[in-house]
Chain A
Amino acid sequence: MSLTEGILCSKSHEYLLEKGGKYIIGLTDYAIEQLGDIVFLELPDIGAEFVKGEVFATIESVKAASEIYMPISGKIVEINEAVVDNPEILNESPYEKGWLVKVESETAHIDSIDLLEYEDYKEEIA
């Protein structure tokens, strides 16, 4: 199975993957490649709630700091502590090991309407 199978992507380069009723959020391989060496991540607290489009995290490469936006509305139920300690994991594995947060969402099916399947996303950014 391809790593990008079933994921949905936003035009601001976040990806969303539904797994067991929760939604995994991360950054696409394209976004990571553009950013270069990732050196710092600031993730939200568990329990924090965000609406679609809101900034929920910050990522810093050697060059600059960038904001990460919620692709859907929801509540943070899990964060990836490993990437906070070792941000370079994102460069190595943006999909498998380099996910950022898991959320619970009541409105994901509506919120994800404007998200793109990976192939369409690649075409959009090309």
Chain B
Amino acid sequence: MTKKTFLHDEQVKLGARMIEFAGWMMPVSYSSIIDEHKTVRENVGLFDVSHMGEVYVYGNDSLAFLNKLVPQEISKLIASKAVYCQLLNKQGGIIDDLIIYKIEDEKYLLIVNASRIDEDLNWMVRNSLGFDVKIDNQSHNYSLLALQGPRALDLMDKMGVKKENQPEFFSIKRAEIFNINLFVSRTGYTGEDGFEILVKNEFSELLWNYIIETGKEFNLKPIGLGARDTLRLEAALHLYGNDMDEVTTPIEAGLAWSVAKNKTADYNGKEVIKKQLENGGEKKLVALKMLERAIPRHEYEIFYNNKKVGIITSGGVSPVLNENIALGYVNNIKEICLGSIVQVKIREKLYKAEIVKKPFVQKKNKETQK
């Protein structure tokens, strides 16, 4: 049975074309994906991402427990701060990628992918033996809205969360908008500055309509999953299931920057991760820009000197660069590096592409990612 978010009917009223995604009916686009994409890069866009999961972890051992699950250093996280993490299996493969927010001591909020909620919960419960923790799935009680783009800060200010009170990058704060108590975090999935707003389901429609109304003078538009995908691809942000899976490690996925290099605590997959931090993994994620006119897509093959060396995991057009771009995996050989020319097989023909630096479009938020 396909689920609907609490904002489903409001979105249909706004002209959304709905599709099924990860078991939910979600808006793919309201007008044009390219137009929505540019709205987020130039002004501000509002997304309903209520399909995503919210899981609280409480208890005396919550820190030790989370530290066992991810290769990031959770003990350094102070209250109100957040960290981008990967939930790893014993082999270092990625079960999910998530953001862990420290609400206060012994209380953490995990925001996880919709398609992975069940796997995440199962894995957390299996790992919780011997820890004094409570794993509390609140996904069914919360809606999540994202407000992204260069004018998001001004709009948030206008809505009563003044600039001096807005959370810093990768932080979360309790706030009040339109008399509704909620959480505002300075995170997102577009490469732009902006916020994600966590609100109880019963208030989400009220909040959505208030933002749509207040946002008019900022040229705000509602944005669908289509533009969410092109935005995150330009920012070279990974999509779980495409660019990451259980047989891919964070090192292979180009996420070594996010992994703690000298973490003392033991964690699932530590042996593999430690080795790969030295030597790399079996494969490596690369960013590609097409040199010929053709669009690379998910599962197209990558060739080097006429030999198959890898596969595209996400690809498409960049509306901002007006070029065709992709993320993919190639065998971890040193000949394939920045500046290398490879080929992508598209409808039985090979087209040239160059390995380029990530991200494709410079991020406007304050993330310091290498």
Contact = CB atoms under 8 A, between A and B. Distances in A.
A62 B297 contact: no
B317 A39 contact: yes
Interface string A29-67: 000000011011010000000000000001011111100
B347 A63 contact: no
B289 to A, nearest CB: 15
B295 A40 contact: yes
Nearest to B300: A65
Contact of A36 (B29, B294, B347): B29
Contacts of A42: 347
Main secondary structure of the interface of B (DSSP, over half): mixed
B295 A65 contact: yes
B59 interface: no
Given A36-B226, A39-B295, A62 B33 contact: yes
B297 A36 contact: no
Given A36-B226, A37-B34, A58-B347, A64 B29 contact: no
B295 A63 contact: no
Contact of A63 (B226, B293, B294): B226
A62 B317 contact: yes
Interface size class of A (residues with CB under 8 A): 10 to 19
A62 B316 contact: yes
A62 B347 contact: no
A113 to B, nearest CB: 30
Contacts of A40: 293-295, 317
B62 interface: no
A37 B36 CA distance: 11
Contacts of B343: none
Interface string A73-102: 000000000000000000100000000000
Interface string B322-347: 00000000000000000000000001
A64 B230 contact: no
Interface centre among A36, A40, A62 (most CB of B within 10 A): A62
Given A36-B226, A39-B317, A60 B295 contact: yes
A63 B226 CA distance: 7
A40 B34 CA distance: 14
Contacts of B295: 39-40, 60, 65
A61 B230 CA distance: 12
Contacts of A37: 32-35
Contact of B33 (A36, A58, A60, A65): A36
B192 to A, nearest CB: 18
Nearest to A55: B347
Contacts of A64: 297
Nearest to A37: B34
Nearest to A84: B293
Nearest to A42: B347
Contacts of B347: 42, 58
A60 to B, nearest CB: 5
Interface centre among B230, B294, B295 (most CB of A within 10 A): B295
Nearest to A62: B33
A41 to B, nearest CB: 10
Nearest to B19: A63
A45 B29 CA distance: 34
A36 B30 CA distance: 10
Contacts of B316: 62-63
B199 interface: no
B57 interface: no
Nearest to A40: B295
Nearest to A33: B17
B28 interface: yes
A9 to B, nearest CB: 21
A95 B40 CA distance: 32
B292 to A, nearest CB: 12
Interface in B218-252: 226, 230
A51 to B, nearest CB: 19
Contacts of A65: 295, 297
The 4 residue pairs across chains A and B that have the minimum distance between CB atoms: A62-B33, A37-B34, A39-B317, A37-B32
27 contacts: A36-B29, A36-B32, A36-B33, A36-B226, A37-B32, A37-B33, A37-B34, A37-B35, A39-B295, A39-B317, A40-B317, A42-B347, A58-B347, A61-B33, A62-B33, A62-B34, A62-B226, A62-B317, A62-B319, A63-B28, A63-B33, A63-B226, A63-B316, A64-B297, A65-B295, A65-B297, A91-B32
Given A63-B226, A65-B295, 11 more contacts: A36-B29, A36-B33, A37-B34, A39-B317, A40-B294, A40-B295, A40-B317, A62-B230, A62-B319, A63-B28, A65-B297
